[in-house]
Structure 1
Amino acid sequence: MRKMVLIAGMLSGIAGAAQAQSNVIIYGIVDLGLNFTNNAGGNRAYELQSGYPSGSRIGVKGKEDLGGGLSAVFQLENGFSADTGTLGQGGRLFGRQAFVGLSSNQLGRLTVGRQYDFVVDFLGPVTANGNWGGYLFSHPFDNDNTDNSFRINNAVKYTSVEYGGFKFGGMVGLGETAGAQRTNMTYSLGAQYLNGPWTVAAAYMSNTLPGASAAGSIAENDANFLAYQQRTAGAGINYTVGKATYGFAYSNTNFTNPLSSVYVGPITPASGSLKRLVFNNYELNAKYQLTPAFSLAAMYTFTQGKFNTSEANFKPKWHTLGLMADYALSKRTDVYAQAVYQQVAGSDTGSVLDRAYIPGASEVSSAARQGMLRLGLRHQF
């Protein structure tokens, strides 16, 4: 808690010094709720957990006009657990974001630091988990990072201005390993088109040896999967008509020589080594605003997997269904309820991948099915 008080003091000081220019903003979200997992290692689990639809955070961002349409920009964002007061993202002070850069009205924005890749920036917002649903609605093991399980360190990132609703960007996260520059290096590209009721997005990301070095683009205690390589590509679309928004998203994630997942630990099959792990995610989602204060939403994801080992091939399937109701008590405070169900079929690897696991559950299920309920309160400032 002393660390959180120190952070708040630092941010207040920064804001006070820049108040006259009105170019520094302090903001945050506190999201806390009660979770019920019907099968957590064969048992029921009740937990108070922080940050599921929205990660609990406090941040400061600023912009200074340098003249001629050019501005200096920065953002520092801390993630924390509201139930315990501890730091998130592996204990990092500004684990969610930490960057500085230049923004031009004509040329776009160039930033350097710890940042989101373009799967998170462009593809995530057309999925349920990257938009209104959050953690529980992630694709299995958040294999495509649409729920931002990790950020990119040492990132140089460019995002264009909008051209008739279209914008694009590119990023490189430096490996910073002398003599082996590709070790723990990340590349990401993305594009987005916004036009009236339509949102169309596509993104690509490639990580080589994520988590292999502390100094690289994805630190070991920040990586989702430890593997030789991870490649993710996807596209999606949202369409709004009246009070309803409908969406479809597809993503493909390909792992070479994967060893473990931050969510479920080692994923080595009972026999043979895992050479290749592929996830194809197909998601349908919808949200309906019944009243200005009350909304209902739903999603279904079908995930088709391919596991190639040194001795056999497997083709598991995941079915994930999620429902959410949200009621705004004010412009900044809402209460919500979420329900998620997952079933795994066609997997017989003898590993943890054969069992259901909803990201955010207390533990992996002891069976091929798992269900979760969450009741939460969220305040934004």
Structure 2
Amino acid sequence: MKVAICAAAVLAACATPMMAQAQSSVTLYGIIDNGIAYTNSVASSITTQGASRWSMQTGWGSGDRVGFTGREDLGGGLAAVFTLEMGFSAVNGTSSQGGRLFGRQAFVGLDSNTYGRFTMGRQYDFTFDYIAPMLSWLQFGSIYGAHVGDVDNTFQTVRLNNTVKYEVSPLQGLKLGAIYAFSNQAGGPDGQGFANNRAFGFGATYKRGGLHAAATYLQLDQPSAGQPGGSNPNGANGGEYTFSTAIFYNAGFVERQRIAAVGAGYDFGQLSVNAVFTDTHLNYRGDQSTRVDNYEVNTRYMFTPAISAGIGYIFTDASGFTGTGATSYASGSHPRWHQVNAGASYLLSKRTDLHASVVFQRQAGDAEATAINFFGPAGTNQKNQIAILAGLRHRF
């Protein structure tokens, strides 16, 4: 009898971790995406002479990444969740997002079937979660097809540090969310303290049948304090304004950035159509300000389960302060840009595809800089910039 009891105890002890393991999961995932690109003109700055370039590029269809995501069932419809995701370049093996180990995402939280999802860490805001899936760059174009200067952060130039994020679904198809990113500073006067380099926002999205719609708002207070040499590099913005095509951020010291976005679309089976509007206000030091509106329409068609293609048009309308000296991107207060994104994909398997895209951008109005996302400005006396790309992407 004692032997039977001991044997049962041993079996129970062995079974316990197996049961716990069955209720938990950790997934390794990633994307590797390399290709060849031609650009008609690339320059080191807005005011220098550009030249054509052939180059190998990485992550241009989808940013290269490796990540871990996990979920543990805690019972009663509650689970612990986490994500750790790093970005890198598959061309040279270097880290992206300023060399951060997990620069794309890093968060932990709780997910409840009844009360929603609460997470803490480095996270996307709702312009990416709810609006970006309707944009051409994410659907079929390339990361170089983001809106001019990514002034509306729909490409997530700025991922938010120190965030608490909450999402809940009160009705079927409806999701509501709010996010707050701490400055991590003690109280103090203007330009310092609790509001120095903080952010907050909210969003709503609705999906039913083929219809999907979303609206979001994001505000960043004193985000330039996170730039190198700023007064708070450990706040919400960790110095991510620094790249050559961020022409609106480079125009001056940003004291406040406000982004409102709305979008809607419909899937008709093989055909999908989307329309998105974003309105961005930038307040600079010295009582200067800029307003930038982006209007995008796009469509995508699935010819077969393996072949798809799409095209999108973006009109960017800006007004106000346009910078000075080497950072000036306009001759007057009303620059405009036209941009066309086109792309196609052929699935070799469920995880591997060949894809190609074309991004064309043209100055209009008072604009004097053409700058396709990440490629660099076209340079002086270049009213048009075009990038043609083709590559291979593998997901795992």
TM-score per shorter chain, which class? 0.7 to 0.9
CA distance in 2, matches of 1:147, 1:358: 13
Moved more, 24-33 or 363-372: 363-372
Alignment match, 1:218: 237
2:310 matched to 1:297?
yes
1:171 Cα shift? 0.3
Query: What is the CA distance between 1:220 and its match in structure 2?
Result: 1.6
Distance 1:157 1:146 in 2: 18
1:345 lines up with 2:347 in the alignment? no
Q: Does 1:206 align with 2:206?
A: no
Contact 1:356 1:365 in 2 (8 A): yes
The AA in structure 1 aligned to 2:372 is I
CA-to-partner distance for each residue in 1:218-277, whole Å, 9 max, x for gaps? Answer: 11246663511110001001111131000100001110117xxxxxxxxxxxxxx78111
Structure 1 residue corresponding to 2:271, chosen from 244, 249, 261: 244
**Which runs of structure 1 show a deviation greater than 6 angstroms over 4 or more consecutive aligned residues?**
309-312
Alignment of 1:276-287 (within 5 A): 276-287=289-300
- Correspondent of 2:109 among 94, 101, 104: 101
Match of 1:351 in 2: none
* d(CA) in 1 for partners of 2:177, 2:280: 20
Which residue does the alignment assign to 1:375? 390
Are 1:332 and 2:351 an aligned pair?
A: yes
Partner amino acid, structure 2, of 1:37: T
1:45 alignment partner, one of 42, 53, 59: 53
Structure-2 residue corresponding to 1:30: 32
Alpha-carbon deviation of 1:47?
1.4
1:368 offset after TM fit, Å? 1.8
CA distance in 1, matches of 2:151, 2:82: 29
Q: Deviations over 1:289-328 (max 9, x none)?
A: 0011001100000111102379996111100011101100
Secondary structure at 1:129's aligned position in 2? helix
Moved more, 19-28 or 306-315: 306-315
Distance 1:35 1:310 in 2: 31
Distance 2:181 2:389 in 1: 35
**Greater radius of gyration (CA):** 2
* Cα shift readout 1:41-63 (whole Å, capped 9, x = no counterpart): 32011111111221100000001
Contact 1:169 1:191 in 2 (8 A): yes
Alpha-carbon distance change, 310 to 80 in structure 1, aligned in 2, over 3 angstroms: closer
SS at match of 1:200: strand
Q: Is the 8 A contact 1:109 1:161 kept in 2?
A: no
Structure 2 residue aligned with 1:120, among 128, 135, 139?
Answer: 128
SS at match of 2:171: coil
**1:365 Cα deviation (Å)?**
3.2
Contact 1:274–1:309 under 8 Å retained in 2: no
Question: How many Å separate the matches in 2 of 1:345 and 1:104?
Answer: 50
Determine the structure 2 residue equivalent to 1:15.
Answer: none
Matching residue of 2:288: 275
1:168 to 156, 176, 195: 176
What displacement does 1:364 show? 3.4
Structure 1 unaligned regions, length at least 5: 1-17, 259-272, 349-353
Determine whether 1:89 maps to 2:107. Answer: no
Higher deviation after alignment, 360-369 or 165-174: 360-369
Structure 1 distance, partners of 2:204, 2:38, is: 38
Question: 2:140, 2:342 within 8 Å by CA — same for their partners in 1?
Answer: no
Are 1:343 and 1:370, in contact at CA under 8 Å, matched by a contact in 2? yes
Tell me the residue number matched to 1:178: 186
Letter in 1 for 2:283: T
Aligned to 1:11: none
Q: Does 1:358 align with 2:365?
A: no
Q: Give the Cα separation in 2 of the matches to 1:126 and 1:243.
A: 16
| Residue 68 of structure 1: how far off its partner (Å) | 0.6
For this pair of structures, how many residues does the alignment match?
346
Amino acid at match of 1:341: F
How many angstroms does 1:108 deviate by? 0.4
Mean CA deviation greater in 87-96 or 48-57: 48-57
The residue identity in structure 2 corresponding to 1:186 is A
Amino acid at match of 2:298: N
Q: What are the within-5 Å matches in structure 2 for residues 1-40 of structure 1? A: 21=23, 23-40=25-42
TM-score by length of 2: 0.83
Q: Secondary structure at the match of 1:359?
A: coil
Question: Which amino acid is the alignment partner of residue 277 of structure 1?
Answer: T
How far apart, CA to CA, are the structure 2 residues paired with 1:151 and 1:79? 12
Within 2, Cα distance between the matches of 1:373 and 1:82?
19
Query: Kindly, what percent of the aligned residue pairs are identical?
Result: 40
SS of the residue aligned with 2:169?
coil
Cα separation, 1, equivalents of 2:26 and 2:351: 20
- Does the 8 A contact of 1:227 with 1:257 survive in 2? yes
Per-residue deviation at 1:19? 6.2
Over residues 314-372 of structure 1, what are the superposed CA-to-partner deviations in whole Å (9 max), with x where a residue is unaligned? Answer: 11110001110110000000011111111111216xxxxx2111103244333121111
Distance 2:317 2:377 in 1: 22
- Paired residues of 1:289 and 1:295 also in contact (CA < 8 A): yes
